[in-house]
Amino acid sequence: MTDQPLLSVDGLKTQFYAEDAVVRAVDGISFDVEPGEIVGLVGESGAGKSVAVRSIVRMIASPGEIVAGEVTYDGLTLVGFETDGDELVPRSDTLSESAIREEVRGNEIAVVFQDPMESLNPVYTVGHQVREFIQLNRDLSTADATSEAIDMLRKVGIPRPESRYDDYPHEFSGGMRQRVLIAMALGCEPRLIIADEPTTALDVTVEGQILDLVADVQAEFGTSFIWVTHDMGVVAEICDRVNVMYLGAIVERGTVDEIFHDTKHPYTEALLGSIPRTDREIETLEPIAGTMPAATDPPVGCRFHTRCPAAREACRTVDPPAIDVGEGSGHTAACIKHGDDAYEESSPIETAATVVSQDE
Ligand SMILES: Nc1ncnc2c1ncn2[C@@H]1O[C@H](COP(=O)(O)OP(=O)(O)OP(=O)(O)O)[C@@H](O)[C@H]1O
Ligand code: NI
């Protein structure tokens, strides 16, 4: 492909500073989003998904800080650093926070966060906010924007949108508020929508409706999406490509087909095994052994080795790079099982996963 990616994330690192520890929430992730594609970001709770997408649009508040990496969107530098002596400092071409707020967020990139109240103003009616948001981003008369707002509210499954238009956010349930945010995002026709688990709180019927709507929008406008979820079922339904995240890092990346049918990373495998799928018996579901270590103190070597069923001695020392495991398709796995002699030559170690299976 000669096309430039719409969004490019390279080596992004974001940390939080606690009293006596540094939380390495996002620890050097890289991925691209091509025009018109839906990219999944999937992983367990605490993997760093929300911090990653917030970093992309520079919505990290103190005590958090983006400390390294680059994010470019359509030629604009959203995050960029250069060295100054032995320090990394923001590069001069990096957009200011106000420029990102005014020129990028909303009209170019719409963001749907996990908590809808973060984005809704309690003192204005829902309809007013949706209409204003649409008008801010599209050249529509108030009358046209009002009917567009009502139309979008209907499309995301809000019953009687004409009368709900004049209700305030607190008169909506959490699920309804989440749908309002999705309506806002879709209604302003951005080129990229970043959605952070927007359907997790909704029931499966509504979730299905919204995923269908996303597919329609994608087909009609060629909109790109980053879809954050911990649900592999959602990934299978709407994503083109997937990034699997564990403890601040992307451990496997590939097309949906590669991730599901040619799984290369033991974490992805465990994740798939722990989640209900229509093609598996419920009885075969197994939770991922052990718990994710704290992001203040990620394991040395491979960050997944403490829970990995396939871990060997070498996994304690080698921090695995993303290894190309496809045939030039971009399928990568950060696991030394694939093509590192050190793995072959070292012996299996006891981990949360192997101890559990011995107990059975
Ligand atoms: N404001 C904060 N201060 C300190 N640590 C934080 C803050 N926000 C997030 N973290 C830490 O960053 C890490 C990643 O959190 P994040 O919310 O990105 O995970 P997630 O993958 O989105 O999880 P979930 O699926 O539960 O939403 C966690 O260890 C979390 O505790
Ligand atoms: Ni999150």
Task: Classify residue 293 as exposed, middle or buried by CB count within 10 Å of its CB (0-12, 13-18, 19+).
Answer: middle
CA 281 to centroid of chain Cα atoms: 28
Question: What pLDDT is recorded for position 360?
Answer: 46
Which atom of ligand 1 sits closest to the CA of residue 114?
27
What is the whole-number distance in angstroms between the Cα of residue 42 and the centre of ligand 2? 10
What are the C-alpha distances in Å from 216 to residues 68, 144, 239?
Answer: 36, 21, 13
Residue written as tokens 């997937």?
242
pLDDT tens per residue, the chain (360 residues)?
A: 456 899 999 999 999 998 899 999 999 999 999 999 999 999 999 999 999 999 999 999 889 999 999 999 999 999 999 999 988 899 999 999 999 988 898 789 999 887 777 789 999 999 999 999 888 878 889 999 999 999 999 988 899 999 999 999 999 988 888 889 988 888 888 999 999 988 877 788 888 888 888 888 888 889 999 999 988 989 999 999 999 999 999 999 999 999 999 999 999 999 998 766 555 555 566 778 889 999 999 999 999 999 999 999 999 999 999 999 998 889 999 999 998 788 999 999 999 988 855 544
ipTM above 0.95, yes or no: yes
What is the whole-number distance in angstroms between the Cα of residue 154 and the centre of ligand 1? 33
What is the whole-number distance in angstroms between the Cα of residue 197 and the centre of ligand 2? 7
Which atom of ligand 1 sits closest to the CA of residue 54?
18
The closest residue, in CA terms, to atom 5 on ligand 1 is 16
Question: What pLDDT is recorded for position 274?
Answer: 79
- What are residue 312's phi and psi, to 5 degrees? -125, 170
Q: Are strands 81-84 and 224-229 parallel, antiparallel or unpaired?
A: unpaired
Cβ of 172 closer than 6 Å to ligand 1, yes or no, is no
Question: What pLDDT is recorded for position 113?
Answer: 84
The closest residue, in CA terms, to atom 30 on ligand 1 is 46
Q: b/e per residue, 62-72, with b = 16+ CB within 10 A?
A: eebebbbbbbb
Q: Are strands 81-84 and 38-42 parallel, antiparallel or unpaired?
A: unpaired
User: What gap in Å lies between CA 224 and CA 39, rounded to an integer?
Assistant: 8
What is the whole-number distance in angstroms between the Cα of residue 233 and the centre of ligand 2? 17
User: What gap in Å lies between CA 106 and CA 189, rounded to an integer?
Assistant: 9
Cβ of 249 closer than 6 Å to ligand 1, yes or no, is no
Q: Is the dihedral of CA 304, 305, 310, 312 positive or negative?
A: positive
What is the whole-number distance in angstroms between the Cα of residue 169 and the centre of ligand 2? 22
Which atom of ligand 1 sits closest to the CA of residue 61?
1
User: What gap in Å lies between CA 200 and CA 114, rounded to an integer?
Assistant: 9
The candidate with the shortest Cα–Cα distance to 303, out of 292, 312, 313, is 292
The closest residue, in CA terms, to atom 6 on ligand 1 is 16
Residues bordering ligand 2, an ion, CB closer than 5 Å:
49-50
Question: What pLDDT is recorded for position 1?
Answer: 47
The closest residue, in CA terms, to atom 3 on ligand 1 is 16
Residues 6+ apart with CB under 8 A from 2: none
Pocket-testing residue among 12, 51, 246, ligand 1, by greatest number of atoms within 8 A of Cβ: 51
Cβ of 246 closer than 6 Å to ligand 1, yes or no, is no
